[in-house]
Structure 1
Amino acid sequence: MSSATSLPIIFVEEGALAAANLSAAHRAWADANGFTGQRGRLLALPDPQGGLAGHLFGTGPVADRPPLVAAQAGAVIGPGQFHFQGASGDPTLAALGFRLGAYRFDRYRAGKPAPVLDLPAGADADEVDRLVSGAALARDLINTPANDLGPDALDQTIRSFAADRGMECRAIVGDDLLAAGFPMIHAVGRASAQAPRLLDLTWGNPDDPKVTLVGKGVTFDTGGLDIKPASGMLLMKKDMGGAANVLGLAHAIVSAKLRLRLRVLIPVVENAISGTSFRPSDVLTSRKGLTVEIGNTDAEGRLILADALALADEESPALLLDMATLTGAARVALGPELPPLYSTDDELARALMAAGTASDDPLWQMPLWSPYDAMMSSKVADVNNAGTGGFAGSVTAALFLRRFVDNAAAWVHLDIFGWAPEARLARSQGGTDQGIRAVYGVLKQRYPAA
């Protein structure tokens, strides 16, 4: 329902300007500006007094129109109140796209107010709100620098998140990790002035199918004693992107009241450098009992995930899914926009890719190629945490994690980037959500609300 003060955003398919039913003056204006419905182009329409009468928005050819094409309007339009007019497509996806495109991170500087959208007729307002809120939560957390989001602050954020949604929350902090059986989380985080910890959130009916999400929560990664170069640290505030995206996904699940028993495990550490840092060639004993030789202290994310995955696997969930900003090799293989997906269930992997395509949240299945397990062999321990030879780094990281999953009916690992180097469809430049809509779409199909 559009308000009396909102201005129209008129959707125009490529070459279909005549169908927009414009006034003669506006049609002449569009022609004079060469507007034909080019995808992503926004053209302001003047009123007779020289003010703003609305906008034309080009959606491009119907055949290759992205589901969230309206995001391109939300990203560039100025402040104001707007409503859709014309062939905007599926109303829920159109509203979702526009609002995702309108996201701004203004914590540290004043910005322009975001545009306000009157929900189009037929749109699912609750679905739009939960997916936008989940994405914004992930983006805000990733964009926040480590001086304001170290382990203590992320811990408090997660506790507040749980309390606001009626989730039970338990935290194991500092040396208590050793007593509770999480030696690798402790080893990675013990060098920091802020203690390592594991956050354990639960929600839902215990009798419903168990779905467990694990998110890598490295609030900053120096690389440890195998220290990164300065250029390699510039984006390391985003190394908790797995945790951020898992929280965004959990928000959507709880908001939709899906019929599942949800558990969220987030190991939270800072991979810092001090006299207590873990070292290359150290041998750590994992929660599962496997011994791990440290080939590289900068391959720390898989260590904390391994302990958390082992805990999750102990209760044999129907689905165990982890998200992590794990390897640069994933970006070499597939670039920043397309996260690799690894799974022990090919049917589930195909469903996730299909759901991602439908919601402009792409994923791409990569192989769990067992022969590459040999790249992580160790002469002194069960496994090395860093593959040799520099080949297939994303695959070997996934294979490392697979060693800690035995009982889950299905396991999925998403090696996300969590960052948009430049603005793209439905994602502003900076910290970004990846995998939330794809995974939520499959869970909604499999475990619909009552």
Structure 2
Amino acid sequence: MKTLSEWLLSSPFSLNLQSNEDIKLGVRQPKGVLVNLLTEDKFTENRALYDFAFRIYGEVKSKTLYPMNDSGKEFFFIFPKDLPKSLGFDLPGKSHYLCYLGSLLSVSLLNHSNKNPEIKNYLLNFENNFIDNFSSIKYEFFVGFLQKSISNKLSKNYLQEEKISININDINFSPFDLNKSQSIHDSMCITRSFVNMPPNILNPQSYEDFLDFIIENEKKFFEEKAEIHMEVMSYEALKEQDCGLICAVGQGSLIKPRLVKLTYQPRNSSKKLPKISLVGKGITFDSGGYDIKPSSGMRIMKKDMGGSASAFGIFLSCLKLELPVHLTCWLPLAENMISGNAMRPGDVYRAKNGLQIEIDNTDAEGRLVLADALTLAIQESPDWLIDLATLTGAARVSLGTMVDSLFGNHKFTTELLYRSGIETGDWVWNIPIPADYESYLDSNISDLANSGSSGFAGSITAALFLQKFIGNTQWNHIDTYMWCDKPTFLWSEGSGATGKCVRLVTRAIEEYILNL
């Protein structure tokens, strides 16, 4: 599918596992460069080995690539002692630290490659025992490495002619490590690609087509290992199923809404699998409706489908890692547009679960599409239900752009997500859901309004609204941003799409399975 391939983000690097002998042979190749990776302690201990860099630069710092000699074939890079930034009182987890180190090396090698385009092979030589100290999470190093190298600019991805080979010694990493790095990275790339797409490329119809293309490819690859299915409920089918809220949000657009359902489970599992459901908000463009956004607020509303992209990235990650889980992913897709058919403030619509909802604000549309999708999800009795959405500006006012708001009705899963955030650096912060705030959603003519009347606690009243549609299911809601306003941590140059929540929720699902 040409349009999809044109917009898929990718790293300029490719990872290759090689034997120690092949690494030595590669250094002797014309386009091969050896990079020695050191800790600060090891560098200090063997300082005399690096006199060439001192003579040229005067001083040597961490986080920078330096030549070992004048051959142009051997360099060294020092990993810093300092940890990445922390959230609150908790120190960064080891996964966060490894991703951070990988991202630092990525920046240096990318800069070196841009200045020396003839170099196509970097051979990495890790300090003895350093990477082995991280045991089962070594793969995180190359997740950070690959993610940091991505550009959100279409030309830089589409015009990539030849990948830069990153050759890794099989003494340090196993095929399993690299496969896990690549699987999580690829899933995050799909998430970032969708969020990055402009709204004239990504709409409910093309989104469905892109998802179908990706799923068909995954089905071919995992045909013998997993059962993977994709179903689509059209606008007409949604009306027949009484999903009045999804229909209301999307009825103003020429491209009608739909609901995509994805399922995955491994074949021939010998034990009962936990059932986990993901729900992701998929508003491919949000004008705000008749409660129209100002131009500044509308400018990046292509990202309002970020929750669905994140949910799909998590789904892909779990599939590629072949996790033992029955996983369902619900993606309500719609555009919130203005027309003679669009919903209006004061309209009342019937939700799938029977509640009558008064439209207080047409720009509070995300919770409407989520509500019907949540109702369908709980009909299958999942053990854990997680929804992800770029839902409220209030969440950004309270926590900014780097920390997502986390809500939940169960202590274990909420703490699991918080701890996974600390471990991975994909941060969430637990927000309370006081029942007294439900009164903000009161309506004079229906069961409840879709937006709070007071202007206070906007992210909380949104979570309270969603809670009306989950029954007694174990549930978590993540109010995310999916956008980077400056180059921080994993994300690439400048502002743009992120892969938020993919590592966070994938890690939490892995831990959830282990705790059963």
* TM-score computed with the length of structure 2 as normaliser: 0.80
Identify the range of structure 1 (107-116 vs 397-406) with the bigger mean alpha-carbon deviation.
107-116
Find the counterpart in structure 1 of residue 104 from structure 2: 72
One-letter amino acid matched to 1:122: F
Q: 1:447 aligned to 2:478?
A: no
Q: 1:139 aligned to 2:186?
A: no
Find the counterpart in structure 2 of residue 391 from structure 1: 456
**Contact 1:9/1:57 (CA < 8 Å) preserved in 2?**
no
Q: 1:148 aligned to 2:201?
A: yes
Deviation at 1:76, TM superposition (A): 4.5
For the residue of structure 1 that corresponds to 2:99, the secondary structure is coil
Q: 1:28 aligned to 2:81?
A: no
How far apart, CA to CA, are the structure 2 residues paired with 1:56 and 1:252?
Answer: 31
**Contact 2:43/2:78 (CA < 8 Å) preserved in 1?**
no
Aligned length: 443
Identify the range of structure 1 (15-24 vs 318-327) with the bigger mean alpha-carbon deviation.
15-24
Q: Which residues in structure 2 correspond to 1:291-440 (within 5 Å)?
A: 291-408=356-473, 410-428=474-492, 429-440=495-506
**Contact 2:152/2:497 (CA < 8 Å) preserved in 1?**
no
Equivalent in 67, 81, 84 of residue 121 of structure 2? 81
* CA spacing shift, 1:435–1:300, aligned 2, 3 Å: same
* CA spacing shift, 1:71–1:20, aligned 2, 3 Å: farther
Find the counterpart in structure 1 of residue 230 from structure 2: 169
**Contact 2:344/2:362 (CA < 8 Å) preserved in 1?**
yes
Find the counterpart in structure 2 of residue 188 from structure 1: 249
Q: Which residues in structure 2 correspond to 1:49-60 (within 5 Å)?
A: 49=71, 51=72, 53-60=74-81
Q: Equivalent pairs: percent with the same residue?
A: 30
Equivalent in 341, 344, 348 of residue 279 of structure 1? 344
* CA spacing shift, 1:119–1:307, aligned 2, 3 Å: farther
Kindly indicate which of the two structures has a greater share of residues assigned to helix: 2
Deviation at 1:382, TM superposition (A): 0.9
Uncovered stretches (5+) of structure 2, i.e. residues with no partner:
1-16, 84-90, 114-119, 220-227
Deviation at 1:293, TM superposition (A): 0.7
Equivalent in 322, 325, 328 of residue 257 of structure 1? 322
Deviation at 1:201, TM superposition (A): 1.2
Find the counterpart in structure 1 of residue 3 from structure 2: none
Q: 1:210 aligned to 2:250?
A: no
**Contact 2:284/2:335 (CA < 8 Å) preserved in 1?**
yes
Find the counterpart in structure 2 of residue 44 from structure 1: 66
Identify the range of structure 1 (201-210 vs 307-316) with the bigger mean alpha-carbon deviation.
201-210
* CA spacing shift, 1:242–1:128, aligned 2, 3 Å: same
Identify the range of structure 1 (360-369 vs 215-224) with the bigger mean alpha-carbon deviation.
360-369
How far apart, CA to CA, are the structure 2 residues paired with 1:259 and 1:158?
Answer: 23
How far apart, CA to CA, are the structure 1 residues paired with 2:192 and 2:410?
Answer: 29
Uncovered stretches (5+) of structure 1, i.e. residues with no partner:
none
How far apart, CA to CA, are the structure 1 residues paired with 2:195 and 2:318?
Answer: 20
Identify the range of structure 1 (15-24 vs 435-444) with the bigger mean alpha-carbon deviation.
15-24
Deviation at 1:29, TM superposition (A): 4.5
Find the counterpart in structure 1 of residue 4 from structure 2: none
One-letter amino acid matched to 1:85: F
For the residue of structure 1 that corresponds to 2:260, the secondary structure is strand
* TM-score computed with the length of structure 1 as normaliser: 0.92
* 1:355-408: CA deviation from partner (whole Å, max 9, x where unpaired): 222222121111112111111111111111111221111111111101100142
One-letter amino acid matched to 2:145: F
**Contact 1:356/1:438 (CA < 8 Å) preserved in 2?**
yes
Deviation at 1:162, TM superposition (A): 2.3
Deviation at 1:298, TM superposition (A): 0.4
Identify the range of structure 1 (437-446 vs 312-321) with the bigger mean alpha-carbon deviation.
437-446
Deviation at 1:163, TM superposition (A): 1.9
How far apart, CA to CA, are the structure 1 residues paired with 2:76 and 2:195?
Answer: 33
**Contact 2:348/2:357 (CA < 8 Å) preserved in 1?**
yes
How far apart, CA to CA, are the structure 1 residues paired with 2:351 and 2:486?
Answer: 38
Identify the range of structure 1 (339-348 vs 103-112) with the bigger mean alpha-carbon deviation.
103-112
For the residue of structure 2 that corresponds to 1:227, the secondary structure is coil
**Contact 1:243/1:323 (CA < 8 Å) preserved in 2?**
yes
**Contact 1:67/1:360 (CA < 8 Å) preserved in 2?**
no
How far apart, CA to CA, are the structure 1 residues paired with 2:406 and 2:168?
Answer: 34
How far apart, CA to CA, are the structure 1 residues paired with 2:199 and 2:265?
Answer: 32
How far apart, CA to CA, are the structure 2 residues paired with 1:338 and 1:24?
Answer: 40
Q: 1:101 aligned to 2:138?
A: no
Identify the range of structure 1 (16-25 vs 214-223) with the bigger mean alpha-carbon deviation.
16-25
**Contact 2:232/2:259 (CA < 8 Å) preserved in 1?**
yes
Deviation at 1:144, TM superposition (A): 0.9
**Contact 1:16/1:36 (CA < 8 Å) preserved in 2?**
no
